[in-house]
Amino acid sequence: ELLLTVEEATVRNEACETAKAIAASLPDESYRTEYADMLSRLSRKEWFTSRMSAANLIAVGYERMGLGAGGSDGDGGSDMADEGAATAARQCAEHLSNFAALCRDDAPMVRRVASQNLGTVAEAAIKVGGREAVDGTGDESIVVGTLLPLYEELAANTQPVSEKSSPSFLWSLYSPVIGGDREIRALFRYFINCVCLAYIYTNLISFS
């Protein structure tokens, strides 16, 4: 956890990759307690480097938080499954909230890492929530209600989302699970915004 906060980018990036490898070998219980708690701490630390690491690791870990909550068979298995599902739902909501805060972070470096991982979070949200994540109502519509507005905010920022993050995010939404007219219109609008911003940004650089 300490290495995930250091200022040296090479060390911090290697620490992120190591954390992902360790997390992949953790049992679900340890993953949903020690590891998930570490991600929450990183996302709220004062120094911006820890929040950069959090933006990377939350994006990768979101899917397992939502899908790794199966219960056990036998007596009490149903209760354990219900408890696991409730824990997964709570952690997904918490980490989505943390990730949204990182997308709006005061530090541009944190926002850039978050924007580069927005597509990963969108894809994971669809895998976890299915169609409900797209065309649900209120807080249930994670993609349209939370992630698309985040993308629009990042794209409209004075430092727009990178050319790497825009196609990644938009492509992650082009899925069989998306079929409603509202989602298609919203996606098309954001795609046009992305193209226009990229054109303007490129020409501003060429004339500077």
Tokens at residue 80, please?
Answer: 């354990």
Residues 6+ apart with CB under 8 A from 134: 126, 141, 142, 143, 144, 177, 178, 180, 183
Instruction: Note the pLDDT tens digit of each residue in 56-111.
Output: 999 888 888 877 544 444 455 566 566 767 777 888 889 899 999 999 999 999 99
- Res 19: pLDDT: 94
Q: What is the pTM of this model?
A: 0.73
pLDDT at residue 160 is higher than 50? no
pLDDT at residue 163 is higher than 50? no
Q: Are 29 and 87 in contact (CB under 8 A)?
A: no
- Res 195: pLDDT: 53
Candidate from 111-125, 150-164, 169-183 with smallest mean pLDDT: 169-183
pLDDT at residue 194 is higher than 70? no
Comparing CA positions, the residue from 103, 38, 45 lying closest to residue 65 is: 38
- Res 70: pLDDT: 46
Q: Are 59 and 124 in contact (CB under 8 A)?
A: yes
Candidate from 26-30, 37-41, 157-161, 188-192 with smallest mean pLDDT: 157-161
Q: Are 55 and 102 in contact (CB under 8 A)?
A: yes
With cut-offs at 50, 70 and 90, classify the pLDDT of residue 181. Answer: low
With cut-offs at 50, 70 and 90, classify the pLDDT of residue 11. Answer: very high
Tokens at residue 160, please?
Answer: 């727009």
Residue 100: CA count within 13 A, CB half-sphere: 15
In whole numbers, what is the pLDDT of the chain averaged over residues? 75
- Res 123: pLDDT: 81
- Res 157: pLDDT: 65
Comparing CA positions, the residue from 170, 201, 164 lying closest to residue 188 is: 170
Q: How far is CA 98 from CA 45, 60, 77, 105, 110, in A?
A: 12, 14, 31, 10, 12
pLDDT at residue 161 is higher than 70? no
Pick 147 or 130 by higher pLDDT: 147
